[in-house]
Structure 1
Amino acid sequence: MRVQGNGFWKTPLGRSALGMGCVLPLLTACGGGGGDAAVVPPVVPPVIVSPLEVNTPFALSDFDSGDKPKIQRAGDGTLVVAYGDAPDNARLVYDVKAQVERPARDIYVKTCKPDLAAVPAKTCDVLADWSLAKNISLSSDKSSINTEWKGILAPGLQAYAGDIDKPNIKTSGPVMVLTWVSKYCPDGDLTTAGVQAPVQRAIRYLERDSRIIPFSCAWMARSTNSGAAWSAPVQLSTGERDAIQDASSGGFNTDTKLGQINISWQEDPQGLQLGDGDGPGDGASGANVNGGTDVWYASATVDLSVPATPADDFVLAPAVRLTDNWQGLYGLSGSVNPIFDGLGANVDPGSIEKGQAGAARPNIGMVGSTAIVAYEETKGSEGLDEGKFVRYHAFPFATPPATAAGKAGCVISNPLKNARRVRFLTQSALDAGPGGIQIAVFWKEGIYDKGGPSDIVVRRGMGGLQPANMVPSVDAACATSDYTTAIGLSSLPGENISSRAPSLTVADNGLTDGTEVNFTENALAHRGVLRGGDLWIGYSYTTDLVKLWAQLDNYNFWLRKYTFAAGTGSWDLPRNVTNITDKRISVREPRIFGTPKSSATACPTGLPGDPTTTDATQCQNTNVIYLAWGTQENVSPFVPEGGADLGIYITASTDGAQSFATPVRYSVAAGPLFQDDESAYESQVVTRPDGGKFYGVWNQADASVEVVPGVPRTVAEYASGSITSIVSP
């Protein structure tokens, strides 16, 4: 059931920011910090005057298990959405994170290219404008391993369906790369022609009714024509180790029609680990790893210059181990062997890789032909230090480091603290300008372990991408795998951009604060935009975790800007952009993004008024920056099920993030706090170059309809929108 307040859905100037009751009190205070109130008093939501207008959303997925949609906009304007979904009558699998049995999913892709000149006009705002779904993974009805996946509930070996985790997709010109991890791993030797016998393994989760769940392997598929056609899926790993956290990047030259692509993922030799209950979620996400977990890397060259030679369109090199955490050791990390083969027998510990350190949550990028990989890694201190380093690599994309020193990666975090969830933003040397920002690397850092308070810390690569270009500087000996050497590094502290956010002044900007200056506050969900000399980094922030849990504070999204010009730069003060005053509601999964580059054909000079411009909407407006976010009930971390998801909101700036328009609710769904069975979460949004139009997808769940017991119906929801008044640069 969808609750739409007093019935109005779309006004001439956009949707109300307050769908029902006081959903998001961005203009007026709602009160209601803690207390025992169980019912939200109905009020008539005001009509919010905003230059943002949202079109009616609709379900883009076809079945009842639409999951984690991703959206890309190709250079020719084609919209491409990839999502997971389970076809009707799909076999059941066990979701370790959600702790439920659910239908196995495949990855589907749909496309739509807006064309207002067509008859009738093609807006992509109705389902009929979109292509039929194409199944890319083709694995949910297959199996490569038998396990006792029902555990003590139904002992005995049973085939496990080829379920996928989620799609990840990146675009470089007309080239799109789609990656995922799957429980279907049929080929046990990728170096030998043909499909060899599987070597896939599985892990027993005692905490999950002793279920034995298969390891995952990495896969990819590609399109070289903006998503119109896709290659057959390509298996990248064997499932001998458990793969997760896949991603890709790359670059494509529209003049030469040459490009390069890179892909990364992590593999844990002893299977994905459950969480320790200290942070959000309950593990099996790849953050908690065994020693010997490494990041793997693959690269490909793209050559579309001669259409008659398809063999060189996309040439993929074999995957290699990028990091050095497995150093030839074998065995188990404990006394119990939880690893099984496809016959249901324990795997010989003498064939299970192990090590002291483990790498997790890699991010990948490419600038020119330089590959960038950053990740978090346990310190390998044999129990002396439970924290993590953030490590960084920059190398020629086709020649990843082969020596031990190169594989170590540069420790760029404070080695005495716990660093995790590294992200980065990049741009070319031309876009950065002389001595400018080519990369901004930022992460969470503090003295506490998982779930503890932390700040957001930043380093900038000025005039280059190597560790030597980092500001503040890092020790020249930062690439070391030796724990004693690593904790003795003399790198300067990174810039702390979240410390004491509400109380900073120009004279006291907090950048040199240690992460424990204010040990009650916490920052997370860091995101950013890098464009020329302007760098914006935002984060969700609460002043006090104890007050947060008591509903006396909440998470809002704060934004801070670094400006570099004439060889010098400075940070401004943090600003609360979302300003949610209702302490029952927190920001979740923020997304901040700028506009893409101008079209080389429709706007070759980048100037809307230039005589060579044939479509001004394809000219980049660098003044436009969007911010979208989900909302979530703010509850104590001791509530087992966590806070319920609510609705998704969006706003935009047309003056370079100096100010933002009044937000509007992007999703119809408002969530259970407002008597709505439907909730929306995890949005993904893109825009065209002028910023006047945006296109987004998100997950939407309906608690009133169950696909199987305990599993709500979910869909991949889509809606576009526009800024009704916009000024060109």
Structure 2
Amino acid sequence: MKKFVARFFLIQAVFIWSLSLALADPRVNVSKTPAEPDMKAKLNIATCWIDAMDSEGNPVVIKNTNEDGLLVEERNTAKPIVACYAGETANGVHDVFGAVSRDEGQTWHITNLSESADKSSFTHANGTPSYGHCRKPVFQVKGNRIFVVWSSRYAAEGAPRYELEGDPHNMGLNEEEPQNWQREEEAPETLVGQQSVDYTDMGFSAIGEVAYSAVWACRGVIVTKSMTAWLNAGYSAGDIVWFQPERLTSGVRDANQLFAGGAGSAGFALTWQEDPLGLRPGKADGPGHGWGGAITSNATDIWYSYITWADMLKTPSPIPGPGEGRPLVSEQMALPVRISDNVDQNTGGARPNCFLQAYASPTDENPCAKSAWAMIAYTERRTNPLGKQEPMGPASVDEGKNVMYHTFEFTKPLANSEDSDANVRAGNIVNLQRTDADGTPLWLTDWSGNYILDEEGEKMPAYYNCRRPRLIMQGKSAVGGSKTVMLMIYKAGLGDCGHGSDILMRRCVVAGDGNPYKFENFQPGEQNLSSTTVTQMGFAGLRALEWEQTVENLGDNPEDNDLDDARAHRGAIRGDFVAFGYTYTPNLEMSKKGYDTYNFYLRRSFDGGQTWTTDPEGTTAVEHTENFYNACSLDSYQVTTSYGPGVNVFEPARNMSLVTVSEADIANEAVQTVIEPRLVAVPGSITITKPSPDDPCKKEPTGYAEDVQDPNVFYMTWATKYFFTDVEGKAHYSFTRDRGQTLGRWEFDSLSGDLSPDVREAECQIRMTPDGSKFYAAWLEETDSGSDIVFRRILPGEFLSIQPNPPIASIDSPVSDVTINAGAPVDFAGSVTNGTLPLTFGWDFGGGAPSLAVEDPGPVIFETAGTYVVTFKVADSEGLESSASVTVTVASGPVAPVDGDLNGDGEVDGVDGALLMAALGACEGEDGGGYIPEADYGGVEGCIDPVDYGIWRSYYTAVVHE
């Protein structure tokens, strides 16, 4: 061995394709506690890269195999995957668990974050303890930081900020939680600590007395090689550190419906509702089982707290090392404040949403500092001087809720802040005043038809019952020509839970300076995104048999079609493209009896929600299939309609699930309905900060192909439930790479791959890489023996362009195992792309320590027959090492040619497939090269096209099945 060509700067992944056709992406049981029920799993992906390791911290090599059973990627780095869920432990109550995977979901490091299931802070009137039952954890991951929040009936320990004597934020209060924290001018009311509610008087004697819940938060961090202080304390890169949980409230009021928001480099925030009389049971008239917090007592308020990026990981100095217990935080969450103002009102707020959107906020000390805008939406019950009015006609309905909206700089929620954007206590009503068919505004009236006047003597507007607001937003820099920065979407109807409703939408556009999400930026008017027009009625006018959706339906009032119902709205916006999904039934009352069903529908806009058309850049028509109903039976039938292509071609909602109803299903109690739809667009591109003399905040690509956003990709999932038994069915998924024009899975695939009727799936959470090539899902899987949280990683075969993902740079041709003749040189050449950080490289020949080099020493000539292993190692400027090995088999004579063998090693394997995929689309004589004459089997002569791939695949398949 004499010379070695090293024209590349980094080799991280070698294509070694597996010949196995077994399931490429098996399910992984995360919780592994089937005897103890689990629930409410959430899933997020960190945006930092670490050395791949298993749950015990042992180094591993990740082998990503696509759905065809082919190994398309092999590497030793990973982005951590984080899941949080509630799991039953001691005393039959739930703790909150944090699960982190550092090897693409194959193994999980699980930590009990709450550790309160065996603790009690309250004793019931009958003398029994109330244990720390935890509910519904929610969390955010930004960079390598994790922020988890939950509610728990354990309301002791946790060092809440209001107990900190001398803290400048507690307004002189100590050991007592004031009722009105943000009202400094009022004397605080002395309260008696954690309270409870007895549900016996409400008809729930089996539940009895229940202690109020307090709000808890827990911070976590995944140690990286740049965290010098933590490394000096004894931690290793890749370690998962969970801080001790922190309590925010005392249980004086019952906390429920927590929602967490986060913005990278800015901080985290959360909202929740607090009911002074305890969680209300609800009516269970809607799709849920009640007890969700939608029904509230008077004076139920929305509360808010936050922690800045700079304060999040602060811990008493010195940092406690591994084995010394979970570290304490030295900077508590901000003192909670009321966002709403219902203390003295006959109303209550419920189900808040909280989102943060980062923006540059440079300081002299940190030119790259960021802050964030907070956007909060919730529902609030209405009231009027005469109390609740019974529906006496279209103009007198006064039951239900308004959608309220607040926005402010996330560290300035108080009304007495100097920032005018923070004056938010009253909030703004998003939903518009009702009008009649001619557009005339409607006002509240009493039983006699007289106008109801407010305290100022003014008429009071009539509103629809509006609830379940959702915010679909993007950063100001991401908006397109429509300037749409946010969409507010909510349910609206004349009745309350269990009654029909439509999905309405309002647009918010960038205008002027300051907060782009301010209420003044909402555009006039509402759009009705779900309404349809019935074109054929049956069953004595009680059932819609056929219907249509036209552009005129966007202006419908919710009562214009009183048969249908829409719910479970989801959506995403990328530039001017909007994808919006919801579940819909044309016959609400029939669906309540199992004679109709809900399906999942998709709508698309290409101008920021102004219009809903086919893709103006599309070249093919889109086909919609809909289920309609027979006039003389309960059976359904399908009709297919084609739309477009073309500019301004209206496109109605498309039925994606196509769940049908038949008389046989009804007779056998096998009717299914769609529940829990999800529509998630890929996240933004992941970058690294690479300061330059001209730009200290300069961002550059990570070098991983999967970290570059493809805004045309989004994924969808939905599950089913059997109507008559109320038992879950299966979860399904699909995706699109062209903004919904075509689907990668049509019909939708089973998410789990398990078609056994004994396995039930629900509560799916999904995430994906920015390019969409990797799909991650976690869900609740139930069997007769119990329930567990299950995870699956899927690499759809449609993403043929998956390439090696080195940590910082990539090479344009794979380095592969080779078989050569004795005396022949080997050139391991490859050019560098995205090689932005200083790199070193080295090699060894069969077990020796690698020799580092910075120059090209020339080609390697193998003179003696045998097998040699060449190992390449590289480290970036932060010390992140990667390696790859290539086996060189040196024969004593010529190697016989084999069909499909493109690298001359005498075998047809994944290496040859990788070479062919890299050459797809290349033609002879083109700039940039890439054309492989040996792979030009057919199709277009002189070019590598799909025909060539199909012929090569036949050679490969023949080898697989030998």
1:191 aligned residue (150, 162, 176): 162
1:288 aligned residue (292, 295, 310): 295
- Greater Rg by CA: 2
Structure 2 SS opposite 1:510 = helix
Aligned residues of 1:603 and 1:619 also touching (Cα < 8 A):
no
Query: What corresponds to 2:475 in structure 1?
Result: 428
Paired letter, 1:322: I
The alpha-carbon deviation at position 86 of structure 1 amounts to 2.3
Structure 2 SS opposite 1:453 = coil
Aligned residues of 2:503 and 2:530 also touching (Cα < 8 A):
yes
Paired letter, 1:585: Q
Structure 1 SS opposite 2:712 = coil
The alpha-carbon deviation at position 599 of structure 1 amounts to 2.1
Structure 2: any 5+ residue segments left out of the alignment? Answer: 1-18, 49-78, 166-173, 177-191, 224-238, 320-327, 359-371, 390-397, 417-421, 434-462, 511-515, 534-545, 614-650, 663-670, 692-699, 803-962
1:171 aligned residue (141, 158, 162): 141
Structure 2 residue 41 is matched with structure 1 residue 69 = yes
State the alpha-carbon separation in 2 of the partners of residues 600 and 243 from structure 1: 38
Paired letter, 1:140: A
Query: What corresponds to 2:635 in structure 1?
Result: none
Paired letter, 1:201: Q
1:646 aligned residue (719, 723, 729): 729
Structure 1 SS opposite 2:411 = coil
Query: What corresponds to 1:481 in structure 2?
Result: none
Aligned residues of 1:602 and 1:614 also touching (Cα < 8 A):
no
Structure 2 residue 84 is matched with structure 1 residue 82 = yes
Distance 1:124 1:59, change over 3 A: closer
The alpha-carbon deviation at position 510 of structure 1 amounts to 1.0
Structure 1 SS opposite 2:136 = coil
Q: How many residues end up aligned between the 2 structures? A: 573
Distance 1:224 1:313, change over 3 A: farther
1:587 aligned residue (674, 683, 689): 674
Structure 1 SS opposite 2:425 = helix
Query: What corresponds to 1:695 in structure 2?
Result: 776
State the alpha-carbon separation in 1 of the partners of residues 264 and 702 from structure 2: 22
Distance 1:449 1:304, change over 3 A: closer
1:374-412 Cα shifts (integer Å, max 9, x gaps): 001100232222211011111111111426973121111
Aligned residues of 1:216 and 1:243 also touching (Cα < 8 A):
yes
1:578-607 Cα shifts (integer Å, max 9, x gaps): 112246111110111111122214999xxx
The alpha-carbon deviation at position 435 of structure 1 amounts to 5.2
Distance 1:585 1:245, change over 3 A: same
Structure 2 residue 130 is matched with structure 1 residue 160 = yes
Structure 2 SS opposite 1:511 = helix
Distance 1:701 1:603, change over 3 A: farther
Structure 2 SS opposite 1:191 = helix
Taking only the aligned residue pairs, the percentage that are identical comes to 28
Query: What corresponds to 1:656 in structure 2?
Result: 739
Aligned residues of 2:314 and 2:331 also touching (Cα < 8 A):
no
Aligned residues of 2:687 and 2:701 also touching (Cα < 8 A):
no
Structure 2 residue 406 is matched with structure 1 residue 410 = no
Distance 1:167 1:405, change over 3 A: closer
Aligned residues of 2:710 and 2:771 also touching (Cα < 8 A):
yes
Query: What corresponds to 1:626 in structure 2?
Result: 715
Structure 2 residue 542 is matched with structure 1 residue 524 = no
Distance 1:602 1:13, change over 3 A: farther
Query: What corresponds to 2:212 in structure 1?
Result: 215
Paired letter, 1:650: Y
State the alpha-carbon separation in 1 of the partners of residues 264 and 701 from structure 2: 23
2:404 aligned residue (391, 394, 415): 391
Query: What corresponds to 1:347 in structure 2?
Result: none
Aligned residues of 2:151 and 2:213 also touching (Cα < 8 A):
yes
TM-score by length of 1: 0.73
Distance 1:179 1:312, change over 3 A: closer
Structure 2 residue 238 is matched with structure 1 residue 238 = no
**Aligned 1:241-640 pairs, distance under 5 A:** 241-253=253-265, 259-303=266-310, 316-327=333-344, 355-368=345-358, 369-381=372-384, 382-384=387-389, 385-402=398-415, 406-415=424-433, 416-433=463-480, 436-463=483-510, 464-471=516-523, 473=524, 492=525, 494-500=526-532, 503-504=547-548, 508-564=551-607, 570=612, 572-582=651-661, 584-601=671-688, 614-635=703-724
The alpha-carbon deviation at position 281 of structure 1 amounts to 3.1
State the alpha-carbon separation in 2 of the partners of residues 55 and 655 from structure 1: 27
Query: What corresponds to 1:48 in structure 2?
Result: none
State the alpha-carbon separation in 1 of the partners of residues 739 and 610 from structure 2: 19
State the alpha-carbon separation in 1 of the partners of residues 214 and 677 from structure 2: 29
Structure 2 SS opposite 1:716 = strand
State the alpha-carbon separation in 1 of the partners of residues 581 and 313 from structure 2: 43
State the alpha-carbon separation in 1 of the partners of residues 467 and 612 from structure 2: 25
The alpha-carbon deviation at position 13 of structure 1 amounts to 9.6
Query: What corresponds to 1:203 in structure 2?
Result: 197
Paired letter, 2:139: I
Paired letter, 1:714: S
Aligned residues of 2:767 and 2:775 also touching (Cα < 8 A):
yes
**Aligned 1:143-154 pairs, distance under 5 A:** 143-148=120-125
The alpha-carbon deviation at position 58 of structure 1 amounts to 2.7
Aligned residues of 2:482 and 2:607 also touching (Cα < 8 A):
no
The alpha-carbon deviation at position 105 of structure 1 amounts to 1.1
Structure 2 SS opposite 1:316 = coil
State the alpha-carbon separation in 2 of the partners of residues 263 and 141 from structure 1: 26
State the alpha-carbon separation in 2 of the partners of residues 298 and 627 from structure 1: 32
Distance 1:375 1:233, change over 3 A: same
Aligned residues of 1:499 and 1:513 also touching (Cα < 8 A):
yes
The alpha-carbon deviation at position 280 of structure 1 amounts to 2.8
Aligned residues of 1:522 and 1:542 also touching (Cα < 8 A):
yes
Distance 1:450 1:654, change over 3 A: same
State the alpha-carbon separation in 1 of the partners of residues 22 and 656 from structure 2: 19
Aligned residues of 1:603 and 1:614 also touching (Cα < 8 A):
no
State the alpha-carbon separation in 2 of the partners of residues 193 and 409 from structure 1: 30
Structure 2 residue 94 is matched with structure 1 residue 105 = yes
The alpha-carbon deviation at position 714 of structure 1 amounts to 1.7
Paired letter, 1:215: Y
Paired letter, 2:101: C
Aligned residues of 1:358 and 1:380 also touching (Cα < 8 A):
no
State the alpha-carbon separation in 2 of the partners of residues 230 and 80 from structure 1: 12
Structure 2 residue 105 is matched with structure 1 residue 124 = yes
Structure 1: any 5+ residue segments left out of the alignment? Answer: 1-10, 16-52, 92-102, 115-122, 149-155, 254-258, 328-354, 474-491, 605-610, 636-641, 706-712
State the alpha-carbon separation in 2 of the partners of residues 591 and 113 from structure 1: 25
Aligned residues of 1:146 and 1:159 also touching (Cα < 8 A):
yes
For the aligned residue pairs, the C-alpha RMSD in angstroms reads 3.1
State the alpha-carbon separation in 2 of the partners of residues 204 and 277 from structure 1: 19
1:275-334 Cα shifts (integer Å, max 9, x gaps): 22422334221100011000000121112899998899966211101100103xxxxxxx
Aligned residues of 2:244 and 2:329 also touching (Cα < 8 A):
no
Aligned residues of 1:303 and 1:313 also touching (Cα < 8 A):
no
Distance 1:143 1:550, change over 3 A: closer
State the alpha-carbon separation in 1 of the partners of residues 330 and 214 from structure 2: 25
State the alpha-carbon separation in 1 of the partners of residues 707 and 800 from structure 2: 14
